[in-house]
Structure 1
Amino acid sequence: MKVAIVHDWLVVYAGAEKVLEQLLLLYPDADVYSLVDFLPDSQRGFIGNRKVHTSFIQKLPFARRHFRHYLGLMPLAIEQFDLSGYDLVISSSYAVAKGVITGPNQLHISYVHSPIRYAWDLQHQYLKESGLHKGLKGGIAKWMLHKMRLWDARTANGVDSIVANSSYISMRIRKVYRRESSVIYPPVAVEQFELCEAKEDYYVTASRLVPYKKIDLIVEAFGAMPDKKLIVIGDGPDFAKIKAKAKPNVTMLGYQPCDVLRKHMQKARAFVFAAEEDFGIAPVEAQSCGTPVIAYGRGGVLETVRGLGQANPTGVFFPEQTVHSLIQAVHDFERNEHRIRYRNCSDNARRFSSQEFRERFRRHVDEQILYYTLNGGDGSRELDDLESEAAVAASRFL
């Protein structure tokens, strides 16, 4: 079976790249396609010696630093990849990767991290934060996002099987694409974040410093609680702006290697998370360390953290992305801290291991290969009725 794996862009080793890493472990002979590949040498170990096939955007002026400015060209660019020689195409998509063109004799499975956030329900937030909600540039941006939505919805029809990274994203997929999807949680290297029950009196948050992560909100909230210490780990375009808001009880460490991040997560009293994320890997890593989570109660975190109203709670939720709401949640946590067991946090995180991801994804792919090979994808036959023909069907892919 000849396999192609399509990724949106390779610029940093983050959550989506961790999914790609596991896919390459499942399919080590797969060819990799990406709009651009500017991944630093220090972060590309999981790619190995593989050649990454890139699009024409790779060679456009200033693409290394400003490739996102070419958003309007990305649908065209992703459609230029010639994947006609592959039996199985797997796209890992949070922007345009699912839009690759495949034929009727190819199986396309798309692992959707999210429909394009800034083109759909987060459009108005994105435009305001980017200063593009008015004026000529704003009008152009709105028109471009309108065209992006049309393309994004249309290309969903070309995917044979959609896999969502959470039930939250599965609902967004149903809303946007009118498609059903299977849920397979993304891989978290929980084995690298060992349980530690020796906690210290500080809170921690870790994230790329971009607007929707709401790190500024966390920093402002702790600035209003001078008796509590906060450590912020991460870098990004908002670093200087957030650092300017930090009071003496807030320490900004910038980017830190995994061992430093792990140490701070293990010792922290709690991990603070204020974003509305599709899944959210960092809260799972924190729980794996035995560290409770204080999180904004929307998005994928509702599937990974158990609130105070559940059995064996692992964290506390706050209802609004406001300083006041977060402050109240910190106080709620401290009043109920005795109810949250470090071991329960660690056990809860094990549900999201890399091994669990690989097993579930491989099983899903095998089922889809069998189904679409024998059934033609028309839904007229049950999978159980096809098992006796599996050996014959497999010969088309092997």
Structure 2
Amino acid sequence: MDSVRPEVYSVEQLNNYIKSILDQNVTLKALFLVGEISNFKAHSSGHMYMTLKDEKSSIRAVMFRGNASKLKFMPENGMKVIVFGSVSVFSRDGQYQVYIENMQPDGVGALSIAFEQLKEKLEKEGLFDDSHKKPIPKYPKVIGVVTSETAAAFDDVKNVLLRRYPKALVLLAPAIVQGETAPPTIIEALEKLDSYDGEYGKVDVILLVRGGGSIEDLWCFNDESVARAIYNCKTPVISGIGHEIDFTIADFVSDLRAPTPSVAAELATPDITEELQRINDLFMRAGRAIVDKTVGLRKILSALVERRVMQGPTTLINERRLILDNYLDRMQSSVLALQNRKKSDFSIAVNKLDAFSPLKVLARGYSITEGSKGVIKSINEISKGDKIKIIFKDGSADCKVEGKHLCQN
């Protein structure tokens, strides 16, 4: 009896067969799976590859670009998630894996995670630093508002501005403030106001406002492109989004955060009633200061008038003249006395000098003898035959030494 040859499958046929079985399984076609992400990789193509694991097992998973682009957060290693998708085989590798269609964090909402991730990213880049915050002008001439044209927030802002500072020009740059189409319109409105230069000049401050709502309603203000547009504005931006408990990324990057649209309008303007009262107070204080100064000067003037010099100035002047004359007389006497004393001192000095003069010695009968080397002071300085000169008080004589005689002591 001939043996029956068994059917032989190729690897590809086997993988495709297993895939067909898995694809027909109702449970595996649509299931929820909870696990922790590891080996996460976001490919440049937009696809996301990862491993989902628990304490005892693991399985590969992939999320293609179309589904990955809808995520509100960025998956990370160690993050516990709940995914929805199907289980199938990648025929080429014979690897069965989960094909993820949707993903949610397990325990914490996707929007909350996305918010914290973007907040951390922009904070590291320095978009929230106080050094980048622009000062809010105290007296704005032109105020720009970015919000929905039909929003109650715009009515609130207009009412506050009209009450507090009606002299300011208010410009509305309408934008969609809810939904996925909102960010581009908000960016366009910000750029339009930031570059505005009309009849009244440039916009001095921009109010980015919206009324309250759920986190989903306000999510457009957590858009990264909106945050960067606010940061790039040369005009100061005040955000007033939602209620006091609501915080958005736009609040962190703006130059000033207000808890509500109405408060944003208040922070952007002075209260004209308070300003007028302040000016009136300044006028009152200035008036009182002038009165006080005038009274003080009058008292000083009265005291001056009552002085003797003001009562009889001629008498005082004559007295001062007498005193001056006396000083002049004393000065002249002192000068003459000094001159006489100096003359006497000079005469004495002259007499002393004259007494020691060589001419005086000669006048008493003495003479001076000079040789070829100068004055001869000793008999030893001459020799017989030397020519010498003898100086008298009234002339001199040229002589020749015929001999010399030493004194006998």
Query: TM-score if structure 1 supplies the norm length?
Result: 0.28
1 or 2 for the larger relative contact order (CA 8 Å, sep ≥6)?
1
Greater strand percent: which structure? 2
Query: TM-score if structure 2 supplies the norm length?
Result: 0.27
